[in-house]
Amino acid sequence: MREVYVVGIGITSFTRLEYPLSEIAAFPAMVALKDAGLSKVDHVYVANMGSARLNHQTGLASAVVDTLSLTPAGAEVIENGPASGASAIKQGFMAVASGLHDTVLVTSAERLREVNNLEATDVVASLSHPLAEYIYGVTLPSLAAMFTRLYMQKYGVTERHLAMVAVKNHDNALLNFFAHLHEKITLEGILDSPEAMTNNPYVAEPLRFFDCCPVSDGGAAVILASAEVAKQLNKPMIRLAGVGQATDTHCVHERAEPTDLLAVRGAAAKAFQMAGVSPSDVNVAELHDAFTILEIVESEEVGFFKKGEGHLALERGETRLGGRLPINTSGGLKAKGHPVGATGVGQAHEIVLQLRGEADKRQVKDARIGFTCNFGGFGNNVVCLVFKREN
């Protein structure tokens, strides 16, 4: 298998974008091509979840490859729910590693805000089992909420821990130009003041408004290349060193231990094994905090902390900027935003920025190894990536 390097990155603001979907995918791709110093690539993957239903557009990849004037390069859409982004990167990795292609553009776009919030909730809820979950009114927040209730009972995680994740990630997003929410929040304002419960109402008990990610539009892109190409481009050598994916039951109720996220555990283990590093070697990580609880649980399942102790590490400040292992320096899905199909590529963008030392005010000092966890469905399809700086 050949080694695969990230040679270019690009991103749009994650916010409400009133542009055609294909342009949201094409723009970060242009930025990434320019960043890499390339004008052509061998193949294009476009990560997207809902274009057919949200934007009335199918065959997005064909539109994107042509609007970028990259024809006749091959192009496909990769759909894997909220993990579409990392899945597309994984496809790009396979194409370069196998020797089939030398340069692959992985771009992504989602435009959820073309529909109203209730409809967007419904589109995302259609990830759940159609007959055993969806018909009851199951939404992603409701699955996360039922999970949170068990986690609180079993491991002593409290609403305060969840709020601490939100405050930390909102603070990080204030340092990220591209983040959706540039809004300072405080524990007093969302938890302790007499008005806090109205400022921060329940979305699905016990999860509150500030425990959930915003509904965002956005796109991000990375360019993957073989070592020979990467060496010619005169960029920091960032290697995509580990790729891991695992799945779990479609229905959340079928899982033997309902507080485990086995797909996260499995995907992370595979990615670390391929990269030949251990979780303790990681300097900076982007975890899929669509809900605040997920940042805590994923930090345990991928192996950064012991099961049931993620919230204690959070309390000690280990995961904030300046801590031992900063998590979600970009603001995470919570505050950077969650354009579903583009999220995984957005995570990779942040890690590459950190490893290059270009993350400005939120730079993690001497970051050499980075990790992303992109979580599809409610943990039924997870893709983890490990990035390494080599020079």
Partner 1 sequence: MAVDLEKILRPVDNPVPPFPPKYMMLAGGEEMVIRQVTRDEIPDILQHVEPLIHVERDYYDVVAARLYSELLAYYRYRVQDEYVLVAQINGELVAVVNGRLLSKDVGMSYHTVALRRGLRVGAHAFATKMEYHIDIIGQKEVLVVAESPIGFRRWMIEYELEKRFHIAHELGGVPSWALTKELFNRARETLVVGRRPVPQHLLEKAQAAILPPTDPPKAPVDLLAATRSLYDSTGTALMSQRWKQEGKA
Partner 2 sequence: MALEIYAYQCKKCGQLHYPFRMVCKKCGNLEPFEFNTVALPKNGKLLTFTTVHNLPPDFNVAKLSLGIVELENGMRITGQLKVPSPKIGMAVSGKVEIVREAEYSKNFGMVFYPA
Binding site for partner 1 (CB under 8 A): 10-13, 15-19, 27-28, 31, 34-35, 116-118, 177-178, 181, 183-186, 188-190, 193-201, 210
Give the contacts of 66 (CB within 8 A, at least 6 positions apart): none
Q: What is the Cα–Cα distance from 243 to 270, expressed in whole angstroms?
A: 7
Least distance in Å: CB of 257 to partner 1?
A: 34
CB nearer to partner 1: pick between 94 and 120 = 120
How far, in Å, are 206, 325, 334, 369 from residue 170 at the CA level? 20, 17, 7, 24
Phi and psi, residue 379, nearest 5°: 75, 20
Name which of partner 1, partner 2, none residue 195 binds, using a CB cut-off of 5 to 8 Å depending on partner kind.
partner 1
Least distance in Å: CB of 269 to partner 2?
A: 22
CB nearer to partner 2: pick between 34 and 154 = 154
Least distance in Å: CB of 291 to partner 1?
A: 17
Name which of partner 1, partner 2, none residue 133 binds, using a CB cut-off of 5 to 8 Å depending on partner kind.
partner 2
Name which of partner 2, partner 1, none residue 199 binds, using a CB cut-off of 5 to 8 Å depending on partner kind.
partner 1
How many other CB atoms sit within 10 Å of the CB of residue 221? 34
Cβ contacts of 318-327, under 8 Å, gap ≥ 24: 319/168, 319/295, 320/168, 320/171, 320/172, 321/171, 321/172, 321/175, 321/362, 321/364, 325/282, 325/283, 325/284, 325/285, 326/284, 326/285, 326/364, 327/284, 327/285, 327/286, 327/287, 327/295, 327/299
Least distance in Å: CB of 267 to partner 1?
A: 30
Residue 129 three-state SS? coil
Name which of partner 2, partner 1, none residue 357 binds, using a CB cut-off of 5 to 8 Å depending on partner kind.
none
Name which of partner 2, partner 1, none residue 379 binds, using a CB cut-off of 5 to 8 Å depending on partner kind.
none
Name which of partner 1, partner 2, none residue 16 binds, using a CB cut-off of 5 to 8 Å depending on partner kind.
partner 1
> Partners of 109 in the beta sheet?
219
CB nearer to partner 2: pick between 207 and 240 = 207
CB nearer to partner 2: pick between 131 and 234 = 131
Least distance in Å: CB of 362 to partner 2?
A: 31
- Please list the alpha-helical segments (H only) found in 8-107: 21-36, 60-67, 84-97
Which residue from 143, 133, 124 is spatially nearest to 204, judged by alpha carbons? Answer: 143
Least distance in Å: CB of 161 to partner 2?
A: 18
Q: What is the Cα–Cα distance from 125 to 271, expressed in whole angstroms?
A: 28
Least distance in Å: CB of 119 to partner 2?
A: 6
Name which of partner 1, partner 2, none residue 141 binds, using a CB cut-off of 5 to 8 Å depending on partner kind.
partner 2
CB nearer to partner 1: pick between 119 and 254 = 119
Name which of partner 1, partner 2, none residue 139 binds, using a CB cut-off of 5 to 8 Å depending on partner kind.
partner 2
Q: What is the Cα–Cα distance from 213 to 219, expressed in whole angstroms?
A: 16
CB nearer to partner 1: pick between 220 and 302 = 220
Question: What is the residue-wise DSSP string for 170-192?
Answer: HHHHTT-TT-S------HIIIII
Name which of partner 2, partner 1, none residue 378 binds, using a CB cut-off of 5 to 8 Å depending on partner kind.
none
Q: What is the Cα–Cα distance from 170 to 113, expressed in whole angstroms?
A: 21
Least distance in Å: CB of 19 to partner 1?
A: 7
- Please, are residues 286 and 319 in contact by the beta-carbon 8 Å criterion? no
Residues binding partner 2 (CB under 8 A): 117-119, 121-122, 125, 129, 131-133, 135-139, 141-142, 145-147, 149-150, 153, 201-207, 251-254, 258
CB nearer to partner 2: pick between 98 and 117 = 117
Phi and psi, residue 285, nearest 5°: -140, 145
* Cis-peptide, bond into residue 72, ω within 30° of zero: yes
